[in-house]
Amino acid sequence: MGLFSFLRGRKNTFTGTVQRTASVMTASANGNAFFGILLGEEWLRVYTNTLSLAEAVAFLQPGDVVSIEVQGSFKEDQRTWYRLVSVKAEQ
């Protein structure tokens, strides 16, 4: 961990079965892509500017069991958006 890693927020992992994914927005100014992932009964809102992570979320299929690691977040209109760190398929 770097000296200022605490500024990025703590890491969290969400694991569950994908019910649905939704592309919400792409911001061309900074290259961020925003997605919603319905895991079970709850929407997880994530964003990334890493193409491989955006691709991993975009190609999730209903029924996939995944582990999604996030670090850091911001709130907008009482919704929390998490910075995506990794997407891993569970066995």
Q: What is the pLDDT of residues 44-83, one digit of tens each?
A: 999 999 999 999 999 999 999 999 999 998 888 889 999 9
> Lowest-pLDDT range, 13-22, 32-41, 42-51, 72-81?
72-81
Three-state SS at 80: strand
Question: Phi/psi of residue 22, each to 5°?
Answer: -145, 130
Bridge pairing between strands 32-39 and 65-76? unpaired
Higher-confidence position of 56 and 27 = 56
Domain boundaries defined on the chain: 5-89
What is the pLDDT, as a whole number, of residue 30?
A: 78
Query: What superfamily would CATH give domain 5-89?
Result: Nucleic acid-binding proteins (2.40.50.140)
SS (H, E, C) 19-56: EEEEEEEEECCCCEEEEEEEECCEEEEEEECCHHHHHH
Strand bridging mode 32-39 / 11-27: antiparallel
